[in-house]
Amino acid sequence: MKKLCIYFSSFVIAMVCFFYTGCSTGEVLDMKYVKITMRNSSTIETHMWTVGESINPTNKLVPGESRTLEKIFTFDTKEEEQVIFIAAGRNGTTIDYVEVTVVYSTILNAYCGVFEAGETISFYNTSCP
């Protein structure tokens, strides 16, 4: 009888947590795979990085060089926002960055950032031109 009471109490607590407090079931609505391409069109070696990265030797691009990363964005709801950004810098300092906030219905499969000679990033909602 005591075991039954413990099982029943555990069940009740789980139901209260789920229905009353809005505990998440951990389910993901969808995952989107996004290619982010970064190209250095300036005349100086420049670091370019994106979500989950920072300036480091692995993301240093010589003039004319590109790199492409595939990132996974997960969405729990259709209204959840995610930020896609591309940054460029040298000597540990960020020179420019762009960011775009997207929701599930507006996220695309490819984005591109081109660091121009004028020290700014041009951002494209597509593959690099």
One digit per residue, pLDDT tens: the chain, 129 residues?
544 444 444 444 544 444 444 444 557 778 888 889 999 999 999 999 998 898 999 999 999 999 999 988 888 888 888 888 899 999 999 999 999 888 887 788 888 889 998 889 998 888 787
pLDDT at position 80: 86
Q: Which of 46, 34, 120, 47 is nearest to 84 (CA)?
A: 34
Q: What is this structure's pTM? A: 0.71
Q: Which fold has domain 26-124?
A: Immunoglobulin-like (2.60.40)
pLDDT at position 21: 41
pLDDT at position 26: 58
Return the amino acid letter for 83. Answer: V
pLDDT at position 14: 47
Pinpoint the alpha helices (H) of the chain. Answer: 2-19
pLDDT at position 42: 94
Q: Which of 99, 124, 125 is nearest to 41 (CA)?
A: 124
pLDDT at position 48: 95
CA distance 20 to 67: 47
Return the amino acid letter for 32. Answer: K
pLDDT at position 44: 95
pLDDT at position 24: 47
